[in-house]
Amino acid sequence: MDSKQALQLFAALLAIMNPLTVVPIFLALTDGYSAAQRRAVALVASVTVFISLAVVLVGGNGVLHLFGITINDFRVAGGILIFIMSLSLLRATPSRMRHLPEEAIDAQTHENPAFFPLAIPMMAGPGSMTTVILFGNEYTGAGGVAVALVVIALVCLIILLTLSLAHWLAHEVGVTGMNIMTRLMGLILAAVAVGMIFEGLRGAFPVLAG
Does residue 210 sit within a domain? no
At 204 the pLDDT is: 83
Whole-prediction pTM value?
0.81
Instruction: Look at residues 193, 206, 204, 187 and name the one whose alpha carbon lies nearest to residue 78.
Output: 193
At 111 the pLDDT is: 63
124: domain range? 3-203
Please spell the DSSP secondary structure of 110-127, one letter per residue.
SS--IIIIIIIIIISSHH
Does residue 68 sit within a domain? yes
Does residue 10 sit within a domain? yes
Does residue 209 sit within a domain? no
Does residue 208 sit within a domain? no
Does residue 105 sit within a domain? yes
In tens, the pLDDT along 64-114 reads: 888 888 888 888 988 898 888 888 888 877 655 555 555 555 555 556 789
Instruction: Look at residues 189, 198, 203 and name the one whose alpha carbon lies nearest to residue 8.
Output: 189
Q: Where are the beta strands (DSSP E) in the chain?
A: none
Cis peptide, bond prior to residue 121, ω within 30 of zero: yes
Domain count, the chain: 1
Rounding to the nearest 10 degrees, give the CA dihedral for residues 188, 38, 44, 13.
0
Does residue 171 sit within a domain? yes
Cis peptide, bond prior to residue 117, ω within 30 of zero: yes
Buried (b) or exposed (e) across 67-84, using 16+ Cβ within 10 A? eeeebeebbbebbebbbe
In tens, the pLDDT along 12-59 reads: 999 889 898 889 889 888 988 999 999 999 999 999 999 999 999 998
Does residue 97 sit within a domain? yes
What is the number of alpha carbons within 13 Å of residue 170 lying toward its C-beta?
A: 13
**SS3 at position 30:** coil
Cα 209 to Cα 137, 138, 204: the distances in Å are: 20, 18, 10
In tens, the pLDDT along 130-189 reads: 899 988 777 667 888 999 999 999 999 999 999 999 999 888 888 888 888 888 888 888
Question: How far is it, in rounded angstroms, from Cα 82 to Cα 84?
Answer: 5
